[in-house]
Amino acid sequence: MKMSPLALGLSLALYAVAATAAPGGDQVPAAASSSSNTATQQPPGDDTQGDTIDQGSRNRRATKAKQLGTVNVSAALDVARNNLSPDTGSSQYVISAQDIQALPLGASTPLNQVLLQAPGVVQDSYGQLHVRGDHANLQYRINGVMLPESIAGFGQTLDPRMIQTVKLLDGALPAQYGERTAAVVDVTTKSGADLGNGGVVGITGGSFGSVNPYASIWGHSGNWSYFFTGNYIENNVGIENPTRSRDPIHDHTNQVKGFGDISYLINNDTRLSFLFGVTNNRFQIPNNPSQTPNFGYLDQTDFNSANLNERQNEQTRFGMLALQGKFGDTAYQVSVGQRYSGLQYYPDDIGDLMFNGVAGQINQTDRASTLQADFATPWASNHTLRYGVYYEFDRAATSTNSLVFPTNPDGSQASTVPFNIFTGDRILAKTAAIYLQDEWDISDAWTLNYGVRGDRYTAFREESQLSPRVGVVWQATDSTTFHAGYSRYFTPPQTELISSENINAFANTTNAVKNYGNNTPLTERSNYFDAGVQQNIGSDWTLGLDAYYRKVERLQDLGQFGTALVYSTFNYKYGRVRGTELTLSYNHGPVSAYFNAAFSRAMGKDVITGQYNFGVDELAYITNNWIHLDHDQKLASSGGVTYAITDSTKVGADYLFGSGLRQAGLVPNGLSLPYYFQLNFNVSHDFNFDSFGKVHTQLALINALDRSYRLRSGTGIGVGAPQYAPRRGLYLTLEKLFDF
């Protein structure tokens, strides 16, 4: 009898429940079996797990997860879960809930802006991030469970209010990590078992019509614990302004986000958790006035581009059931899940036809079902064997109704009367992976992690690879740590693709492509080398230096080639990426500060798929010459400082600096945009009222110098329109904690 992946995963989970609940299972010490209700309520930004689990801080590497005496059951299980995920040989940067709260907008900061405070992370338009010269290719994990990527868009699915810590892992990753490998965004969520019983309500509002009410509730009862958070966002700068003006035209957004985590302690060694989230975002696409139409429509020859009415909606929903615990000496986590992602683009029919020659109403969906199982077993006296499997089944669909004009043989418009072309794709994609690795503690100073990962991806074709991984950590002194690693990577393309059938349908129309070529993206394969050192200077300072090099075959890149803000995948035959990162952090008394600086170069040569997106001259040049990738930025830096004047009053500042992404020059992507610098300030104070209790307030000044800088110029490979960063804005947060 055949079983679906979800049914198989649930069967494994139920079997593990039965096995771990059977008599004879290991128990934590008696003091730990008093349930998870021993924690007292703390503000959401406080780390109540600090005495048990070392997650690291900023650029200071975490110590190995281990049991420290008698702790509560929930914390003991968190230690076991951490033991499933080695970071040997890779680079890591940890941002805690306290760090997020110290940002100018606090927990109202979008997740992409939080991650910009890590080294090697570069901002782009539409909320995109580039880590170490890669375009997207980020893997998100929640409590160790991988969340399949969503269709590219503007919205941020995950809310920072759910985060206890977020760790950015990059470099030479261990065999456990695959699929999306530019970096792993590893989120540990807040838990009612640690926070007690209570919640928070608040609102952030200010410039550009910004309103952001939010609420969270958490608690525990008996063996149950829960954490829920939700918020609503509305403002008039949903997408980057295509002009320098302070107030963009037609740029309103409404966004709703929610997240929940429900956990049940089956016994002292076993926990069942259900994680779920929902996002529903609506965007107006901002207008660039004074543009000249390229086509006529019926008897109309002019159209005011400031009056365009293009819109885009995005939805994401996910749910993951995870069984985690210990079976004898083996720690495990088995999870099944599903993620739905949808995107709808609504054109301005007449305006899009007159400016672009096509007005396409696009509907994209993708539903991914997953099974993940990770295990860690100690063996001999100094080895930990880690092994596991991952399976994902994607059903992606795209349907488009496009109005176009017919053309003459020379490509000129033949008629001003449009007609409709319907195109649609349905794609089934299967991803399967298995890994095995051994962490060998050679001595107190040396740790070696070596292993192998096997991946197979099946969609338009079947591709596979066996990937060796090796990493080493040398604790040279009590304050000096070296790490180095090598990883072979296998990166499948995204499943939202354009088929050759769709392209052929637009022949002899104003939406015809210039080149056909190979239109099915290929899996990227690369060799990644990483080495670095961390130096602790006393107990207050931590200095880190890291260097990396990646040699790539079939380098994947994304571009916005159509009128909708939807991305298409293409491949360069060759790629090479290199860089260096410097990190510095300081924590002492009332002062905490951090500084990051990064150098990066990302180059590609010879476009071998998706040639329909390029002009003939571009393709000819790139075939024989290395070019900068459009998202390549030579220099990037971030930093910040927070000073606690009193326990209830804090001031802070942070900044972003970049040397600019690429734009067209004498050759494709031949120039970089101007340097930019953005400075932000904030002050917070807790007011205490006799009848109402404590109210937290935070005032933020974003882009204090009102620098009007461009993220994109509208030129370069795969760049659809100019985008400017938001102008200066003032925002106030009011927040009230409560308990029950």
Mean pLDDT, contiguous 10-residue spans, the chain (740 residues): 42 39 35 32 41 59 52 76 79 93 94 94 90 91 91 75 95 94 94 93 97 97 96 95 94 96 95 96 95 94 96 95 94 96 95 95 94 96 96 93 95 95 91 97 95 95 96 95 96 72 85 79 96 94 96 91 73 97 96 97 95 88 96 97 96 97 95 97 94 93 95 88 93 95
pLDDT at 126: 84
| Residue 427 near residue 397 (C-beta atoms within 8 A) | yes
| Residue 544 near residue 588 (C-beta atoms within 8 A) | no
Helix runs in 388-493, H state only: none
Per-residue pLDDT of 126-160, as tens digits, reads 888 999 999 888 999 999 999 988 776 556 789 99
Rounded to 5 degrees, what are φ and ψ at 431?
A: -120, 125
The residues with which 190 forms a beta bridge, in sequence order, are none
Rounded to 5 degrees, what are φ and ψ at 312?
A: -145, 135
Residue 474 belongs to domain with CATH number: 2.40.170.20
Which residue type does 390 have? Y
Strands (E), 45-89: none
**Structure tokens given for 717:** 């490979």
> How far is it, in rounded angstroms, from Cα 2 to Cα 144?
28
Number of domains forming the structure of the chain: 1
> How far is it, in rounded angstroms, from Cα 711 to Cα 672?
10
Range of the domain at 341: 5-739
Per-residue pLDDT of 153-166, as tens digits, reads 556 789 999 999 99
> How far is it, in rounded angstroms, from Cα 332 to Cα 13?
11
Helices (H) and strands (E) in the chain, counts: 8, 34
Would residue 127 be called left, alpha or beta, if left means φ above 0 and alpha means ψ between -120 and 50 degrees? left
Whether the predicted model's global pTM rises above the 0.85 cut: yes
Task: Specify burial of residue 138 (Cβ count, 10 A radius: 0-12, 13-18, 19+).
Answer: buried
Best CA proximity match to 578, nearest among 629, 506, 640, 529: 529
pLDDT at 695: 96
Per-residue pLDDT of 234-288, as tens digits, reads 999 999 999 999 999 999 999 999 999 999 999 999 999 999 999 999 999 999 9
Strands (E), 560-675: 568-588, 591-609, 627-628, 635-644, 649-658, 662-663, 671-672
pLDDT at 496: 59
**Who's near 529: CB < 8 A, 6+ residues apart?**
172, 485, 486, 548, 549, 550
> How far is it, in rounded angstroms, from Cα 529 to Cα 471?
10
> How far is it, in rounded angstroms, from Cα 407 to Cα 418?
11
Per-residue pLDDT of 507-520, as tens digits, reads 899 998 877 777 78
